Amino acid sequence: MLTVITLAILGLLWGGVYLLMATGLNLIYGVMKVVNLAHGDFIVLGGLLAFSLFAEAGLNPLAAFPIAALILFGIGAGVQFGLLEPITAAGSEGELRSLLATFGLSYVVANASFLVWGSQFQSVPFLEGAVQAGPIAIPAGLLAASLAAFAATLLIHLWLTTTITGKSLHATAQSALGAASCGIDVRRVRLLAFALGSAMAGGAGALVITLIPFQTSTGGELTVHAFTLIALGGLGNYAGAWLAAELLGLTEVFAQFYLGSNAAAAVIYVVFIAVLVVRPQGLLGQAGRV
Amino acid sequence: MRDRVIEAILLGALVVLALVIARSGSAYVAQTLFNAALAILLAIGWNVIGGFTGYVSFGQVSFFGLGAYIAALATMRLALPWPAAIGVAALGAVILALPLGLIMLRLSGIFFALGMFGLARILQISVSAMRATGGPMGMSFDAAEDPHICAAVMLLVAAAALAGTWLMLRSRFGLRLLAIRDDAVAASAAGVHVWSVKVLAFCLSAALAAVGGALYAWNLGYLDPSSAFNGTIELQSVLMVTAGGIGTVWGPLVGGAIVSGLSTFLWARFPMEQQIVLGGLTMLIAVAMPGGVMAALARGGVLRRAPIWAPPPAATAAPAAKATAAPAPTRPRPDRPAPVLRCAGLGIRFGGVVAVDAVDLVAYPGELLAIIGPNGAGKSTLFNLISGFARPATGEIVFDGKRLPRLRPERLARAGIARTFQTSRLFPSLTVWETVLLAALSLHRNRRRARTEAARILAEVGLLAHWREVPEALPPGRQRLLEIARALALQPKVLLLDEAMAGMSAEEIARVHAALRHAMEGGSAVVAIEHVLPAIAPLAARVQVLDFGATIAAGHPHAVLNDPAVITAYLGVEMEGATDAAA
Amino acid sequence: MPPPDLLRLEGVSAGYGRVPALHAVDLALGHGETLAIIGANGAGKTTLLRAIMGQIPLLGGQIRFAGRRLDGLDTHARARLGIGYAPEGRQLFPMLSVADTLELGAAREPAAVRRERRDEMFAIFPKLRPLRDASCGLLSGGEQQMVAIARALMGRPALLVLDEPSTGLAPRVIAELYASLAHLLDSGLAVLVAEQNARAALRFARNAVVCEDGHLTLRGPAKTLAADPRVAAAYIGMHDASIWSAAPAGGAPDAPI
């Protein structure tokens, strides 16, 4: 019983980390209807940046978190400006083309990271002790990372729902033409959304690398993780995304404990495909439209 | 015809040249050719699903890896000879693809792409966990002895696959694929069974990838999960097809030649940067040249896709039929036959808004029923209910004497309920001829019969002279005409026209009238939504007026159009309220 | 010298793809004037408004607003110049509240100004006040249209461009909507409205043009056009002009607005 409770707590804490990973993708998808296939690679890049900041400058992972986020913000802005905005502006067949573009981007980011950091697994040691809560021991690192992720997600959520700039992101997601007729520069909103989403990926990476070692090829898996969450939780539905993140965290922790890490990796994909099959209309809700 | 000969000669020459090089060159040259041909084969397979049906996949490598493992295990455990093992691999892939396609093809866009990606990872993890496959460390087995033979076989298979897609694109299957890629909704309205065509394409694509995997295993004599399900293979296929031209026959070959040349060069000189360059190239193509090399060539008039079949020569030689002078308007006949379509109490709501509210509608053979009403009155939704594109919440439809069960649009189209759409839904990449032929083929299994019918209908609406053109090149009125012709090619018992004559010239309207009269003389019932009444008035036996989803008047045109309720609904309200408030 | 026109279109052609849907249209609108563009579905009314708002590129001609050429300006830039736009289909933000939606209409103003103007809108459209916290997606059609117009007014535009405001609304709601609009004209606002509902539009606007197949075929004072049998023929496509005299209230509208 104690094991189950411990696992449940671990799962819920992992949920916080997943939530941050997915919220960035959710934001980008919501505003631009583009799935950034390099999202996972951005997460890995953020983690590896944190690794270097730790290894070269001795920076605490929590201090590396904003720096990694900032660097990814810049990269995201560059990608949106140079790659995705021209495709969006061209209009027709935008979905296919932006998929191909981010598919290519994912390889560029992963292999550029490979050139810099090599192919070995990297990790950042952080708060390796455990917090004792009665008979239950919780890894301090996971607790800190999870709380940081929850805090960051909450801050961004507050920013999105209370400030006029945040609301203009929502507005653009719901009707770009409506936003433009309000005098909102939708191009700038898209730039902001993509940069912010990328920053969240970078920040999440800086936290996750303290928990699991990263390799440059981990990105694809993380993209699927994040996408599973937004498919499961529902677009723009923050409560749904949170619920999905917790479910995924629990599933993974339990699968790892009872089935082993290899099978746990497969379970995630099975959940993913099951989600797609049960909700084939997905976030788009295109079924039956004539 | 000349284009076809050139294409055939070109392909033949390439194959012969490659075979000569493969047999006479060094083992290294043979291996390089093998790799290039394999990449092209995989690109062709990817193109079948990603290019011809528009389902971009990021997991076709699943079938590649699966084929490789099945073939290897078949030689090791069952001691099958390699040719048989390759066949088994293809069969195995199809057996997996069939149920998988039924599930995965329900997904759209990114969901399909990532679902396939997930599938590849699941297979990779499963294979790593199995003892029979040697787990993560992989397994060794007997490879082909002579790399030259290996390369020659690979080349022949790739050439056969290329010839196969070339032939496919000239078949009714290819025509349906292109139509679905362009517009699946319009394809089903033209009677195409979208579902089975997609699944078939998915299986075909899987089989090609599996054959590639089996040949890869035969060539190498060693397999491990991470190389059999390697994402780079996917990247290469995607890049080749998009660089060459997605959804074209020659795209994979052209793109494959360029990309495999480039990756071989990069691998030799910059092995570390190879994938960055390939990824960067994919980005560049997505941004700057979405159509790839083939689109650039097609703009220059080279290697453009030849139309699928052609009208019978006799049809094009004959002078186009003239629009006949209008006889007296069709009026309800006292002796009219039983209705072919009877809708009772049809209703549907969308999120609290009643779109169609208990509408009754009756259509008689040989008669035209005009449906009018202001914007948002529910006219088009009513058509969606009748033609199977939406399911009515209430009411029933009796068609041809039988109560209509819930059927898919393509079944209804084949059964005789054809429609057009309010905003034209034509297939951008199909010619005028192919558009009508597509519908005619839904009705006639016999190819000659379908061609004759398609040519007859095109002649009737005066479009036969334009048979080679794509819709974009036609003025709006002609585009509408083409959509009507597509519906007529289904020889409908009930023809639903949704503002089909908006934006037509008088001459075009006369053509439509003649064609509709001909169809009605043949016993078709026509139900036409129109906004501009003169376009339809001369043909209308009855008029039915909808407002806020409900019928507010029905009957003889003259009586209905002078009904005060109709005038208020249709022309707008008197503004007493407004003046009072403004005063 | 008379003051320059607020909005002036010269030889404007525009369309989708290769084929123009609008052919060499000339149009002028002064400060505080009201102009209705009427015509059947697909006649080019929405295309014309889209061209004015920069949603589709011009194939020829030019558009000036307040003396300034609009070439190359995006929709949002035109909105900032002082064109309030309530597009076809309303284009509201279904998951945002009415208050938030209105504030977004003046997104570039400081918070205090946004709130002040929002309250002005509640004075103009009192029906919206109790709905301030409701999501736009849950409002009725008439309420949604009011929000769309109020949102367009939040930027204090000199010109209000309305695309088919009466679509899908019940007759009484249409009357109410145009009554609210009539109140606004005192402040010197110019209004350009595309309408399929000819009667409502002709009663509201001082001048009108009839759009047919991408051409402006008739123009003149709304009162004159309302009585013109050619309008009936062109617009609803009925050759029988008696349909107008058979109207329940009888005769052409004559009350000044």
Question: Which residues, other chains included, contact C137 with Cβ-Cβ below 8 Å and sequence gap of 6+?
Answer: C92, C94, C95
Task: Decide if A167 and C94 are in contact by the 8 Å CB cutoff.
Answer: no
Q: What is the pLDDT of residue B438?
A: 94
Instruction: Work out the end-to-end distance of chain A between its first and last CA atoms, rounded to an integer number of angstroms.
Output: 53
A239 touches C at CB < 8 Å: no
Residues in A closer than 8 angstroms to B106, CB to CB, are 277, 280
Q: Helix or strand or coil: residue B363?
A: strand
Dihedral angle over CA of B71, B74, B76, B77, nearest 10: 160
Q: Which of residues 102-161 of C touch A (CB under 8 A)?
A: 103-108, 111, 114, 151-152, 154-155
How many A×B Cβ pairs under 8 Å?
135
If one compares C97 and C257, the residue with the highest pLDDT of the two is: C97
Residues in C closer than 8 angstroms to B574, CB to CB, are 199, 247-249, 253
Question: Which residues, other chains included, contact B214 with Cβ-Cβ below 8 Å and sequence gap of 6+?
Answer: B67, B68, B70, B71, B82, B85, B86, B89, B90
Confidence check: pLDDT of C235 > 60 = no
B463-503 confidence digits (pLDDT tens): 888 888 888 888 777 888 899 999 999 999 999 998 887 76
CATH class of segment(s) C1-82+159-165+194-248: alpha beta
Q: How far is CA B340 from CA A184, B365, B401, in A?
A: 54, 6, 7
CB-nearest to A269 from B107, B118, B275 is: B118
Q: What is the pLDDT of residue B315?
A: 62
**Subunits with 3+ C-beta pairs closer than 8 A to A:** B, C
Q: What is the pLDDT of residue A281?
A: 47
**Subunits with 3+ C-beta pairs closer than 8 A to C:** A, B
Taking residues B143-155, report their average pLDDT.
86
Q: What is the pLDDT of residue B116?
A: 87
Rounded CA gap, B72 and B385, in Å? 53
Q: Which among A215, C213, C245, A105 has a CA at the least distance from the CA of B503?
A: C213
Task: Decide if C91 and A181 are in contact by the 8 Å CB cutoff.
Answer: yes
Residues in A closer than 8 angstroms to B128, CB to CB, are 262
Candidates A175, A181, A191, partner chain C, best to mutate (most C CBs within 10 A): A181
Q: What is the pLDDT of residue B581?
A: 35
Q: CATH second-level architecture of B368-380+408-582?
A: 3-Layer(aba) Sandwich (3.40)
- Mean pLDDT, chain B, rounded, equals 84
Task: Decide if C255 and B472 are in contact by the 8 Å CB cutoff.
Answer: no
B475 touches C at CB < 8 Å: yes
Q: Which residue has the tokens 């009663």?
A: C203
Q: Which of residues 171-190 of A touch C (CB under 8 A)?
A: 171, 174-175, 177-187
Q: Which residue has the tokens 């730790």?
A: A54
Task: Decide if C198 and B572 are in contact by the 8 Å CB cutoff.
Answer: yes
Confidence check: pLDDT of A99 > 60 = yes
Taking residues A223-251, report their average pLDDT.
79
Rounded CA gap, B331 and B219, in Å? 75
Nearest-CA distance B495 → chain A (Å)? 18
Q: Helix or strand or coil: residue A138?
A: strand
Taking residues B510-531, report their average pLDDT.
87
Q: What is the pLDDT of residue B555?
A: 85
Confidence check: pLDDT of B580 > 70 = no
Give the range with max mean pLDDT: A281-290, B133-142, B560-569, C74-83.
Answer: C74-83
Exposure string of B570-583, with b = 16+ CB inside 10 Å and e = fewer, is: bbbbbbebbbeebe
Is the torsion defined by CA of B328, B332, B336, B338 positive or negative?
Answer: positive
CB-nearest to B570 from C17, C176, C236 is: C236
Taking residues B151-161, report their average pLDDT.
91
C123 touches B at CB < 8 Å: no
Confidence check: pLDDT of A283 > 50 = no
Contact B568, C252 (CB under 8 A): no
The two three-digit tokens of residue B349, written as one number: 């709501």
- Say if strands B550-555 and C7-16 run parallel, antiparallel, or are unpaired: unpaired
Nearest-CA distance A280 → chain B (Å)? 5
C140 touches B at CB < 8 Å: no
Q: What is the pLDDT of residue C66?
A: 92
Contact A141, A211 (CB under 8 A): yes
What would the DSSP string read from start to end of B155-178?
A: HHHHHHHHHHHHHHTTSHHHHHHH
Q: Which of residues 237-256 of C touch B (CB under 8 A)?
A: 237-240, 242-244, 246-249, 253, 255
Taking residues C16-27, report their average pLDDT.
82
Q: In what order do the strands lie in the sheet with B353-363?
A: B353-363, B341-350, B394-399, B402-403
What would the DSSP string read from start to end of A78-97?
A: HHIIIIIHHHHHH-TTHHHH
Q: Which of residues 144-173 of C touch B (CB under 8 A)?
A: 164, 166-168, 170-172
Phi, psi of B332, rounded to the nearest 5 degrees = -55, 130
Confidence check: pLDDT of C10 > 90 = yes
Residues in B closer than 8 angstroms to A284, CB to CB, are 108-109, 111
Nearest-CA distance C45 → chain A (Å)? 18
If pLDDT is split at 50, 70 and 90, which confidence band does A89 have?
confident
Confidence check: pLDDT of A90 > 60 = yes
> Which one-letter DSSP state was computed for residue B50?
I
If one compares A142 and C15, the residue with the highest pLDDT of the two is: A142
Nearest-CA distance C69 → chain A (Å)? 18
What would the DSSP string read from start to end of A156-201?
A: HHHHHHHSHHHHHHHHHHH-HHHHHHTT--HHHHHHHHHHHHHHHH
C199 touches B at CB < 8 Å: yes
Task: Decide if B279 and A108 are in contact by the 8 Å CB cutoff.
Answer: yes
C53 touches A at CB < 8 Å: yes
Confidence check: pLDDT of C106 > 50 = yes
Q: What is the pLDDT of residue B566?
A: 72
Helix H or strand E encompassing B544: strand B540-547
Q: Which among C8, C21, C6 has a CA at the least distance from the CA of C58?
A: C21
Confidence check: pLDDT of A152 > 80 = yes
Confidence check: pLDDT of B125 > 90 = no
Nearest-CA distance B281 → chain A (Å)? 7
Confidence check: pLDDT of C227 > 90 = no
- Mean pLDDT, chain C, rounded, equals 84
Q: Which among B437, B413, B394 has a CA at the least distance from the CA of B172?
A: B437
CB-nearest to B56 from A96, A265, A276 is: A96
B250-303 confidence digits (pLDDT tens): 889 889 888 888 888 888 888 888 889 988 988 998 888 877 888 777 777 666
Q: To the nearest whole percent, how much of chain C has pLDDT over 70?
A: 87
Taking residues A135-151, report their average pLDDT.
88
Name the least confident of A82-91, A183-192, B169-178, B341-350: A82-91
B209-238 confidence digits (pLDDT tens): 999 999 999 999 899 998 899 877 888 888
Report ipTM (2 d.p.): 0.86
Confidence check: pLDDT of A288 > 60 = no
Nearest CA in chain A to B420: A290
Annotated domain spans of chain B: 2-229, 368-380+408-582
Q: What is the pLDDT of residue C233?
A: 63
Candidates B96, B102, B110, partner chain A, best to mutate (most A CBs within 10 A): B110
If pLDDT is split at 50, 70 and 90, which confidence band does C3 have?
low
Burial (0-12, 13-18, 19+ Cβ within 10 Å), B524: buried
Task: Decide if A181 and C86 are in contact by the 8 Å CB cutoff.
Answer: yes
CA atoms within 13 A on the CB side of C72: 2
Exposure string of A70-82, with b = 16+ CB inside 10 Å and e = fewer, is: ebbbebbbebbee
Task: Decide if C75 and A180 are in contact by the 8 Å CB cutoff.
Answer: yes
B314-339 confidence digits (pLDDT tens): 665 554 444 444 444 455 556 677 88
Confidence check: pLDDT of C141 > 70 = yes
Task: Decide if B499 and C168 are in contact by the 8 Å CB cutoff.
Answer: no
Nearest CA in chain C to A236: C95
If one compares C9 and B144, the residue with the highest pLDDT of the two is: C9
Q: To the nearest whole percent, how much of chain A has pLDDT over 70?
A: 93
Task: Decide if C95 and A171 are in contact by the 8 Å CB cutoff.
Answer: no
CB-nearest to B286 from A101, A115, A272 is: A101
Rounded CA gap, A56 and B140, in Å? 43
C-alpha Rg value of chain B to the nearest Å: 29
Rounded CA gap, B235 and B380, in Å? 43
Q: What is the pLDDT of residue A279?
A: 63
Confidence check: pLDDT of C24 > 50 = yes
C154-206 confidence digits (pLDDT tens): 999 999 999 989 887 777 788 888 988 888 888 889 999 998 778 888 889 99
If pLDDT is split at 50, 70 and 90, which confidence band does B462 have?
confident
Helix H or strand E encompassing C37: strand C34-38
C34-63 confidence digits (pLDDT tens): 999 988 777 788 899 999 999 988 989 999
Nearest-CA distance B191 → chain C (Å)? 28
